[in-house]
Structures are given as C-alpha cells and as structure tokens.
Amino acid sequence: MKFLCDHMLGTLAKWLRFLGYDTAYPDELEDDDVKAMAAREGRTLLTRDRELSARVPGAFFVASDDPDEQLLTVVKAFHLNADDALSRCSVCNVLIEAVPKEQAKGRVPDGVYARQGDFWRCRQCGRFYWQGSHFGGVLAKVRAVTAKANASP
C-alpha cells in the first residue's frame, strides 16, 4: 500500500513512514498535480480537503486535525500493521539499510557509536539510524496504535 499525503498531513506522513509504509509528502501542489501524482504513482491520496477527496478516485478524507487521531483513523481504515516498522527514512521515505558499525564512525555522536552495535543508513540522504531511546518510543507508539485500531470494531 502506497500513500500520498497532501500538504496538510505532514505529521501523518511521518508516522506512516515510521510504520513502514511508502508515503509521499510533496511540497504544496495544485489539486490537479496531486491528482496526477496519485494516479501516476498508484498512491492512495490522504487529504484534509473534502472537495479534493471527492474528485480523486480512491482518496480518503481525513476529518480530524489531531495527528494521533489521524493516524489511528488511517491505520483502522486500511487495516495497517507495524510489521515493517522503522524500515524507512522518516525524511526521505526511502528504505533504510543495515550498515557495518564502522560506517557510522564520525557520522553519529561518539557516545552513540560507543553504546550501539547496529546502525542503518538512508540510501538517499545518508541519515543514520540506531536503536536509541527514540527508537523504542516510536516503536511502542506504532505498535499501540495498530493494536488499538485492529482491536476495535
């Protein structure tokens, strides 16, 4: 499942990427360009614009302006899971890859390098990831949201 979040849903885009879903979040585009991008790339448009959602086949209108509620609504509507959580760059939307620890030397804080054994890197922007405290918090949130969404009727 691939998504396209319009310019009003940046936080939702980030959290869908944390869940592991291919989620485009382009700069602000005209409605016709959004519609064309969704069709060209085979993406489901997620939008806060009710009129736009009615004009794009398969689009999903996100009613809430609360990011946590948005995420829960989308996870529930599309039966999403956290099986591939934290597999994408939250900035670039590209799959991250495991790299040898030595590649992280000088590119992450010295303390992180000393404490961590596993590192991942974005193939596009070069950003490094590791299982720090932020990792645990993000993983806990995405698992809680998917469990809650999939448990309710």
pLDDT, tens digit, 9 for 90 and up, residues 108-142: 999 999 999 999 999 999 999 999 888 888 988 98
pLDDT of 20 over the 80 cut: yes
Specify the CATH number for the domain of residue 28: 3.40.50
H-type helices in the chain, by residue range? 10-19, 31-41, 50-55, 67-78, 101-104, 110-115, 133-151
On whether residue 104 sits in a domain, the answer given is: no
On whether residue 135 sits in a domain, the answer given is: no
Helix (H, G, I), strand (E, B) or coil at 72: helix
What's the pLDDT at 23?
98
Q: What percent of the chain has pLDDT over 70?
A: 99
pLDDT of 148 over the 80 cut: yes
pLDDT of 60 over the 80 cut: yes
On whether residue 125 sits in a domain, the answer given is: no
Tokens 């994408």 sit on residue: 88
| 126: CB partners within 8 A, 6+ apart | 107
Domain of residue 43, residue span: 2-78
On whether residue 121 sits in a domain, the answer given is: no
Confidence of residue 105 (pLDDT cuts 50, 70, 90): very high
What's the pLDDT at 132?
87
Question: How many domains, the chain?
Answer: 1
pLDDT of 54 over the 90 cut: yes
On whether residue 23 sits in a domain, the answer given is: yes
- The residue-averaged pLDDT of 19-48 equals 95
On whether residue 99 sits in a domain, the answer given is: no
pLDDT of 152 over the 70 cut: no
What's the pLDDT at 150?
80
What's the pLDDT at 32?
93
Distance CA 40, CA 130 (A): 34
On whether residue 64 sits in a domain, the answer given is: yes
On whether residue 22 sits in a domain, the answer given is: yes
C-beta neighbour count of 105 within 10 angstroms: 11
Q: Please tell me whether the overall predicted TM-score, pTM, comes out greater than 0.75 for this model.
A: yes
